[in-house]
Amino acid sequence: MVILFVHDDWTIASNGTVMTGLRFATELRNRGHEVRFLGKVHPGVGNYNLKERYIPIISRVSKKQDVVFARPDKKIILEALKGVNVVHCFMPWKISYYTAKLAKKMGITVTTAFHTHPLNITYGIGGLAMNSKLLQKFIFWRWKKTFYRHFDNVHCPSYLCVEEMRKAKYHNKCHVISNGCNSNFYPDPNYQPNFDKDLKIIMVGRFANEKRQDLLIKAISKSQHRDHIIATLVGRGPNETKLANLAKALGVNITVSSKILSKDEMRSLLHSHDLYVHCAEIEIEGMTCIEAFSSGLPCLIGNSPLSATKQFSISEETIFKGGDALDLAKKIDYFFEHRESLITLRQQYLEQAKHYQIAASIDRFLEMIKEATADKLITINTLKTKSGKKMLKKIRVPLLFRFLSGLLYYGLAFPVIVLFLFFGYRFKVKGLTNLRKIHKLKTGAVSISNHIHNLDSAMVALSSFPRKAIITAQPANFKLPVAGLLVNALQAVPTPTSVDETKTFFYGLGKKVQNKKIVHFFPEGKLVKYDIHLREFKKGAFLLASQELVPILPMYFSYGYNKKGQVSRVTLNIGKPIFPNPILPKEERTQDLMEASLLAMQQLSNWAYN
């Protein structure tokens, strides 16, 4: 496979995104794939160099942050695209959009990534812009309008990226793929615990406002053991002199180094320290933190709301209040006084590091490319087949039909259903707070339940009022005398019966879930009246939730009898949302989600009947 990586400037070795691209390219080439680079790049085979693009005012500010833009050149881009199977764009700038547009016209699969946050830009500008929510919202809106809406599949280095995109109402299929730690980072085979007087701390990252190296300097100055703490700050950026002056003014033993280190040199430097500290307020993932704990270094991490790095914290001792120098000082003092805890944490972090190795990331990256290619073929071929069109018509209901169906449902069917269920079955719902949790999310969800009654789809619809859940049902249910009318009124979607229908089914419902809809499945498949036992689940619901990284909402129908032995009470018990584990590969994630959901349903069953 031939893959073209697109980024404005591949020459800045200290840039995290550039390092990710180079790391991915090396691993992909080791697996037999051809990787090309497009942008400002050093001469070499497979490198297509573009000239720098100057943007008045913006370029002057961005250069201070080591950000340079490339100027599109159609001739060079077309040359780079010859024989390419996949184009992967790293940043939402003009060169990426321009290249992707040409690639799509040529029938080439395109994917992109979410490697930067609007706050990275506003912090780089500084001043009043730094915390301007209005400017941040504008950047998100601008990126969506000009860039991300043209891509279905997006590489997100952490789940935080997914959450931020959904808050901004992006409707993309997100793939959580770690940027991956290079195999050069491994624990010191000659490691000896340090019980000496001095505690050695290191922090690695660009010297920029959002990285908050100043917080570590201030924290050490507040430490009870400040005279016995040695710290090293490694990086490059506009704040280098400012940080060195702050350390000098506060009289702390801190070295500020802008020396560019090789991977081996960086690993050796990490091995010579006892604790890694990460203070960044904005972080898409935190590769330097991954490299640190992969090298055997315990990490102390700030829990800032927009820092994904906090996901790596494994205990209360390894996390501090974001932006709080005093709390950080207290945690540093704890580790100074409890050196033995660093030994235990070292082993725990090394175990965690296994999930973030580059090999696993490449597996996930290739998995994303496979899905993106399948999605492209669905839009080009499958959606145009007879069965594909039929299924799509059931999912993408025309506006007029939706309006008429809504009148029928809310004006007639809904009131009748409410009265019938209330008086006929004393129907009630327990656990509505769990459903409201889903409503508060900036995403959709997949709900599931056991299948024991002809009207249980209506009961599910009633529980989600006023939102209208999308019910999936067996095709035969649409032909039932009375229930069939209700199923049609609910705009239910028939489960697929052919390959083309299956592809369209998951593609279309995936778009619905991305648009904050709740899709309901009966994973047992067939209806068995008043069966209290859970039957074997089919994977459809869990595959959709896993694919779109949305939660499963488990529901369980329980019932009771009257004195005549007739069913006179039906209760829908709603459990807590179950979120897919984004670290796992898709198949493992789907299986893990299905097993967790089955366990939750069993617990709801026990709770309902005990």
How many other CB atoms are there within 10 angstroms of residue 177's CB atom? 25
Q: Please list the helix, strand and coil fractions of the chain in percent, rounded to the nearest 5, in that order.
A: 50, 20, 30
Place of tokens 């979607």: 493
pTM score, two decimals? 0.86
Output the 3-class SS for 131-144. HCHHHHHHHHHHHH
Asked whether 106 and 4 are in contact (CB, 8 A), the reply is no
Tokens representing 430?
Answer: 């327990």
Which comes out higher in pLDDT, residue 15 or 405?
15
Residue range 229-242: mean pLDDT, rounded:
93
Q: What percent of the chain has pLDDT over 70?
A: 93
- In whole angstroms, what is the distance from residue 174 CA to residue 348 CA? 29
Asked whether 300 and 320 are in contact (CB, 8 A), the reply is yes
Report which DSSP code applies to 258: -
pLDDT for the residue numbered 345: 95
Given a cut of 80, whether residue 196 has pLDDT beyond it is no
Q: Please report, for residues 23, 257, 467, 526, the alpha-carbon distance to residue 267 in angstroms, rounded to integers and kept in the order given.
A: 16, 15, 53, 57
C-alpha count within 13 angstroms, C-beta hemisphere, residue 300: 27
C-alpha 512 chain-centroid distance: 18
Given a cut of 80, whether residue 402 has pLDDT beyond it is no
How many other CB atoms are there within 10 angstroms of residue 581's CB atom? 16
How many other CB atoms are there within 10 angstroms of residue 92's CB atom? 20
- In whole angstroms, what is the distance from residue 235 CA to residue 308 CA? 20
Asked whether 309 and 287 are in contact (CB, 8 A), the reply is no
The mean pLDDT value of the chain amounts to: 89
- In whole angstroms, what is the distance from residue 198 CA to residue 217 CA? 16
Given a cut of 70, whether residue 60 has pLDDT beyond it is no
Q: Which CATH architecture has domain 199-355?
A: 3-Layer(aba) Sandwich (3.40)
**Enclosing H/E stretch for 104:** helix 94-105
Q: Is 117 exposed, middle or buried (0-12, 13-18, 19+ CB in 10 A)?
A: buried
Phi, psi values for residue 290, rounded to 5°? -65, -45
Q: Which CATH architecture has domain 386-609?
A: 3-Layer(aba) Sandwich (3.40)
If you average pLDDT over each of 65-69, 459-463, 549-553, which comes out highest? Answer: 549-553
Asked whether 135 and 123 are in contact (CB, 8 A), the reply is no
Q: Is 217 exposed, middle or buried (0-12, 13-18, 19+ CB in 10 A)?
A: buried
Task: Mark out the alpha helices in 126-222 (DSSP H runs).
Answer: 133-146, 159-167, 213-222
**Enclosing H/E stretch for 599:** helix 586-609
pLDDT for the residue numbered 142: 93
- In whole angstroms, what is the distance from residue 510 CA to residue 319 CA? 36
Which comes out higher in pLDDT, residue 414 or 286?
286
If you average pLDDT over each of 88-92, 429-433, 485-489, which comes out highest? Answer: 88-92
pLDDT for the residue numbered 254: 95
Q: What is the CATH number of domain 2-177+359-378?
A: 3.40.50.2000
User: pLDDT tens digit string along 345-387?
Assistant: 999 999 999 889 999 999 999 999 999 999 999 988 888 898 8
Q: Where are the domains of the chain?
A: 2-177+359-378, 199-355, 386-609
Place of tokens 């624990």: 187
pLDDT for the residue numbered 222: 96
**Enclosing H/E stretch for 262:** none
Place of tokens 């169906």: 405
C-alpha count within 13 angstroms, C-beta hemisphere, residue 59: 11
Amino acid at the residue 110: V
Angle at the Cα of 576 from the Cα atoms of 440 and 424, rounded to 5 degrees: 95
Residue 225 φ/ψ region, left for φ over 0, alpha for ψ in the -120 to 50 degree band, beta for the rest: alpha
Residue range 318-338: mean pLDDT, rounded:
95
- In whole angstroms, what is the distance from residue 245 CA to residue 200 CA? 20
- In whole angstroms, what is the distance from residue 356 CA to residue 57 CA? 39
Tokens representing 162?
Answer: 């997914």
**Enclosing H/E stretch for 367:** helix 358-380
| Strand pairing report for 306-307 and 282-283 | parallel
Coil, helix or strand at residue 610: coil
Tokens representing 243?
Answer: 């940080």
pLDDT for the residue numbered 195: 81
Q: Please report, for residues 233, 584, 591, 592, the alpha-carbon distance to residue 587 in angstroms, rounded to integers and kept in the order given.
A: 41, 8, 6, 9
**Banded model confidence at residue 452, pLDDT cuts 50, 70, 90:** confident
Pick the closest to residue 3 from 78, 83, 104 (CA basis): 83
Identical fold, 2-177+359-378 and 386-609: no
Q: What percent of the chain has pLDDT over 90?
A: 61
Pick the closest to residue 569 from 578, 579, 559 (CA basis): 559
Phi, psi values for residue 172, rounded to 5°? -105, 160
How many other CB atoms are there within 10 angstroms of residue 227's CB atom? 11
- In whole angstroms, what is the distance from residue 4 CA to residue 319 CA? 39
Rounded (10°) angle between helices 358-380 and 16-30: 80
Tokens representing 238?
Answer: 């506009």
**Banded model confidence at residue 122, pLDDT cuts 50, 70, 90:** confident
Given a cut of 70, whether residue 483 has pLDDT beyond it is no
Residue range 286-308: mean pLDDT, rounded:
94
Residue range 137-146: mean pLDDT, rounded:
93
